[in-house]
Amino acid sequence: MGIADQFKDKAQELADQGQKKMKGGKGDNQRQGQGQDRRQDASDRARQASEQGRDRVQGAADDVQERFDR
């Protein structure tokens, strides 16, 4: 086996490794996307809970003001 053959084999091996990593990387990107979706869902739930809490406080304040005005 000559030097040229060794370089061809190494080049092919590196190309194969690159293709495997590219295929594996797509799975990582998908998992990252799912993680972002989960964070967005959690953020949405937190925002909704905050709005509900604000509404409750405003409702209680309105009730107090209404009783005071009587």
Q: What is the pLDDT of residues 26-54, one digit of tens each?
A: 555 666 667 778 888 888 889 899 999 99
Give the H or E element holding residue 64.
Answer: helix 3-69
For every residue of 3-60, DSSP letters joined together read HHHHHHHHHHHHHHHHHHHHHHHHHHHHHHHHHHHHHHHHHHHHHHHHHHHHHHHHHH
The pTM of this model reads: 0.45
Residue 58: the pLDDT is 92
Q: Which of the pair, 55 or 36, is modelled with greater confidence?
A: 55
Mean of the pLDDT values across residues 48-67? 90
